[in-house]
Amino acid sequence: MEVTARAPGKIILSGEHAVVHGSTAVVASIDLYTFVSLRLSTSENDCTLRLLLKDVGLELSWDVGKIKAALPESDGFDSSTPTTCTREFSEAISALVAEQNIPEAKIGPAGISAFLWLYTSIRGFEPATVVVKSELPLGSGLGSSAALSVALAAALLASLSPGSLDSSKQGWLDFEDDKLDLLNRWAFEGEKILHGKPSGIDNTVSTYGSIIEFKSGNLTMIKSNLPLKMLITNTKVERNTKALVAGVSERTLRHPEAMASVFRAMDSISTEFSMLIQSPATDELAITENEKKIAELMEMNQGLLQCLGVSHAVIETVLRTTLKYKLTSKLTGAGAGGCVLTLLPSLLSGTLVDKVIAELESCGFQCLIAGIGGKGAQVSFISTS
């Protein structure tokens, strides 16, 4: 039997970075997914754990006996209790990753470390083949790290207890509500390896889907009464979330009072953003008024992200370009490159949207409009017998 899980990426509509420091943020899942397929080995002579990372063209493999010998002694694994990768395990896992001699240009090693931690913690030392493939651009602010952790944990947990899902059914199956919390907590452990100090917002929206107001680990699912159409522009400037999150924490240590004020302002912006998108807007006039306020909040949010030191010249180029068309933009995710969101008001003509996209793409950027607020993690079973 093979199990495939899929987990969506996300756009942070308001409050990135500040959310790591306890402020409110608003996030939506997008209809671009990371897929993880898991096939346990059926051959007695096979002792290999294989990891195929299709997006970066890497095929890695380890002897499961060697993995067991390399990791510190432990009381055994317990898939029902998500545990944090300790420094001792992290060092042993880094050594297992290093021995694969991965070309640095291909990928940051943290994703592979997160894989080894989640795999060995949930499934132990069983030989298997795991294939990862994503529709998301990696390291661009659309949450590929969380989608990887969620899809991986989902495939592993589903393979352990397929009975809790109706595996005779075709197509994508939802997890039961009580399993979602376990899945989310495991994915958070993966995201810790990838982000250093994650807020948990990305793994939460990738697990549950929808639009979520998030603060200090608590989520509230919300329903938008606005169309909230966002143009996503990928600047293709690569950056690393872990380094950017650490940079904001260092700035916070240097200027605690000033940064606390910025985080408070971000909290107010996100709270108002959430309230505005939920407020009943029955006619065109009310929708337009609320969209204007949303645009203003996005502009303020972007200004504060600049205060945190996470904007970038290329992001400013996108802001200037969209402003020529009287459109408002903000970076999304960790910033310093990656993706930028532009609000497309509901009355905006299709011709104008085409024009702004053409101009952005002439700068070498890539534009897309994703569906937002859809389903979270799901699994599918394929019988290989």
Ligand X SMILES: Nc1ncnc2c1ncn2[C@@H]1O[C@H](COP(=O)(O)OP(=O)(O)O)[C@@H](O)[C@H]1O
Cα pseudo-dihedral 72, 180, 156, 196, rounded to 10: -40
- What does the block give as tokens for 2? 């093979």
357's contact among Mg ion, ligand PMV, ligand X, none, with CB below 5 to 8 A by partner kind, is: none
Piece of 87-95, 131-139, 272-280, 370-378 that binds ligand X (CB under 6 A): 131-139
Q: How many of the other CB atoms lie within 10 Å of CB of 96?
A: 18
Per CB under 6 A, 378 contacts ligand X: no
Strand ranges for the chain from DSSP E: 2-14, 25-40, 48-53, 58-63, 128-134, 173-174, 211-215, 218-222, 230-234, 329-332, 339-343, 366-368, 378-382
- What does the block give as tokens for 62? 């380890």
Per CB under 6 A, 333 contacts ligand X: yes
Cα angle value 199/203/206 (rounded, 5°): 140
Site for ligand X in 15-44 (CB under 6 A): 34
Q: In 61-106, where does DSSP find H-type helix? A: 64-70, 87-98
225-264 footprint of Mg ion as x/- string (CB under 5 A)? ----------------x-----------------------
Per CB under 6 A, 353 contacts ligand X: no
Of 244 and 356, which CB lies nearer to Mg ion in the complex structure?
244
Q: Is 202 a catalytic residue?
A: yes
The 8-class DSSP code of residue 18 comes to G
Of 129 and 342, which CB lies nearer to ligand PMV in the complex structure?
342
Residues forming the site for ligand PMV (CB under 6 A): 16-17, 19-20, 141-143, 145, 195, 198-199, 201-202, 241, 245, 333-334
User: Are the CB atoms for 51 and 38 separated by under 8 Å?
Assistant: no
17's contact among ligand PMV, Mg ion, ligand X, none, with CB below 5 to 8 A by partner kind, is: ligand PMV
Catalytic positions are 202
Which chain residues interact with ligand X by CB under 6 A?
34, 53, 55-56, 107-108, 110-111, 132, 134, 138-145, 148, 194-195, 240-241, 333
